[in-house]
Homo-oligomer: A and B are copies of this chain.
Amino acid sequence: MEPQTQQPTEDGGSNKAAGSSANMLCRQSRWTPTTDHIRILNELFYNKGVRSPTIEQVQRICLQLKWYGKIEFKNVYYWFVNQRSQEKQKKRSTSDVHVPMQRSGLVDDDKVTNWKHEDQYINFGSSAPASASSAGVLIAFNG
């Protein structure tokens, strides 16, 4: 799900080695989830079907995730909020109907726009039944 190379420097390290200019200000302003964080959270959300965890569940999850890096309650809480929201946002790109263009010839039309991640995979997992496979169903779209 993450095509970007995420560096596992969870100790509030400087994120991008972009400029390396004279700015030594490494103020970590917001949580940067580690790959382990993402992996576990995704497993909970998709495989286990945890959509709206209770306070106690969030606290428990947060406690577990602390082993993999610095994380707070609100990070876990917001993560689930955003996941739910983003899942709905993906639906909004439907009705992206193809309209013949003026100038060019027919370019490749990816009709149902993948809305997020040039990775041409979308992960279907929804509310997980108990007999779910160990990994979510991965469906590939190729233009």
Contacts and interface: CB of A to CB of B under 8 A. Distances in A.
A121 to B, nearest CB: 11
A103 B66 contact: no
Contacts of A107: 13-14, 70
Interface string A110-129: 10010110101010101111
A104 interface: yes
Count of this chain's copies in the oligomeric assembly: 2
A24 interface: no
Contact of A12 (B67, B102, B104): B104
B102 A72 contact: no
A98 B72 CA distance: 10
Contacts of A103: 10-11, 13, 69
Given A72-B113, A74-B122, A127-B52, A13 B104 contact: yes
Interface of A: 10-14, 27, 29-30, 52, 54-55, 59, 62-63, 66-70, 72-74, 77, 92-93, 95-99, 101-105, 107, 109-110, 113, 115-116, 118, 120, 122, 124, 126-130, 137, 139, 141, 143
